[in-house]
Structure 1
Amino acid sequence: MNNMMDNVSYSMILTLMVPKETKSYLHVYFICFLALYLLILSINIRLVMVFIMEKALHEPMYMFLCHVCINGVYGASGFYPKILSDLILDSYVISFHMCALQAYVIYSSLLSEITILTVMAYDRYVAICKPLDYHSKLTKDTCVKLILFSWIVPNCFCITAALPICKYHIDKLYCDNWSIVKLSCVSSFVNGVFGYAITVTFFSFIVLIIVSYFKLISACKASLESRRKFWQTCLPHILSLINFTSAYFFDIMYSRYGSNDIPESLRNFLALELVIVPPVFNPLIYGLNIKAVRKRVFPSCVAASENVLKRVKT
């Protein structure tokens, strides 16, 4: 009987939230989401190609940045194709197994990002605080293991147990783990505890990152060269962390404490901030702030700015 219920659950069609204003601005929304998706793909793929092709960038820090870009494409592909399909077809439905797959992709990407940001904080700590040990500690094999760790651990955490469902509506523009749990016929206490455990685990990663940067700031006070290296390479990481934590905070607020009393436009913003902002801004943050990357990804912009500076000086 339980197996039959599970089979029924997986064959069910679920409905997603339909924004009230979609009918009037359907084409506008479609063009905006398509433009964002193409922007994410173009910038991230461009960065990945630069990291692969440029031998000067075959360093641990750039290997981790390459992973961030690949993860951005992976996570965005879990959201944008579906929302674009919904908008063009004006059909906001999804099968249960596709809903579970979408939630898995989005959240494994999210957790993978915070894991790789932790790895990058360790990389910067060794580079600035223990520069003589940098190449012995962060060998090619070690970097590969750290990257595999940042993929495998989050994906293990994102595996969701099969639950029989009695409801068929997701009050969100896309599927997430908590929305699926709320559809269940059975008590979600265990899943809730597991969800909080995941949140605490990855929040501890954020604490580790913050502590490492405090140590970096303290270590950089004595040396002008260390301060220069810190602001040049660590500032993008700090901006990326702020970007990620704010997006994750909005998602938690929406998923756990969202209410129908909140205006729909605000609820949509809270829901979409997680899947829109980090994939767009992360490559821009790294591409524009790190000089070695900026020169190769935006050569025309760099050349133009240098010409302007020369004219100003003359």
Structure 2
Amino acid sequence: MSTLFSAPYSDPRLRSLLLSHYRTQGTVSFDLLEGVDYTIQECSECSLIFQKMAPINEMLAVLYDQFIDPKRLKELELSRLTLENFREIGRRLSDLFETIGKQPRDIRMLDFGFGYGRWARVAVAMGAEVFATEISPDKIAFAQSIGVKIITQSELPSFRFDVVHTEQVFEHLADPRGVFAELAACLAEGGVFKMAMPKQGRIRKLLRKHGMIDWSPYEEGYKRREYTDYSTIIPLEHVNSFSLKAVAALARGEGLRAEVGRFGSRHLDIDLGSFRAAAKSSRDWGMRLLKDIYVTVGPGKQDSGYYMLYRE
């Protein structure tokens, strides 16, 4: 085990980072962080990067009710319901379903980390039977209103799913190994377990060179692209950062194999409705092609942030 960075939350740079990150989301209570260190470590065996002091349930309740205002989060999620996002999600789900070799109507899917259902609502519209685990009464009511079936985490062993879908989930978990084991156990034969999260990227080099930054990449809108990879270790929220090696270590323990996912460049869908639409759709396809090249022959072969897992 090695330490990549450590400083108390009272450090001016960390305080500035937290204020920047939550400025438009909610309110930070620094008194709850008094006497606590923010320490980033790396596992020498599997390369997992993680925060040593991950928030416990009581702190998570404060984090997602106060630091992050649920009303603002819902507004943000709803703002992402765009035609472009619908096309992207539909394309990615089509890839998942084709991998399994079933029509959507025959697929049972678990959307673990449902949120406000951007992925689930598209899967339901395609004809899949979609389940989710959720504890928030508001989100449960919302899920049911769009045709998603809510089950408790304790009920998972009774189910088998063709698709276990996790989008930007595992970086938040205090017990990723335990949750992974639960989800792997309910993956059906021939099914696929999808994991998507921020990639590690250059975070080791960035920490050696700069230490911790004093602003959030999210607030900056990723305009300072050379610092984008700091998003993989956002204090309190992104407590785990995975590479393929780390995902593969989890997979082996549950009898699964892990592969890097693809981003859909084999779908050449060009909009010929206008010159502007054609240019934009061609550019989008070009970006997907570059991403697929990156994960096929580039550094993304080991660190893409998008992984597909199958039973051995």
The answer to whether TM tops 0.5 is no
TM-score, length basis structure 2:
0.28
The structure in which a higher percent of residues are strand is: 2
**Structure with more contact order per residue of length (Cα contacts < 8 Å, sep ≥ 6):** 1
**Greater Rg over alpha carbons, structure:** 1
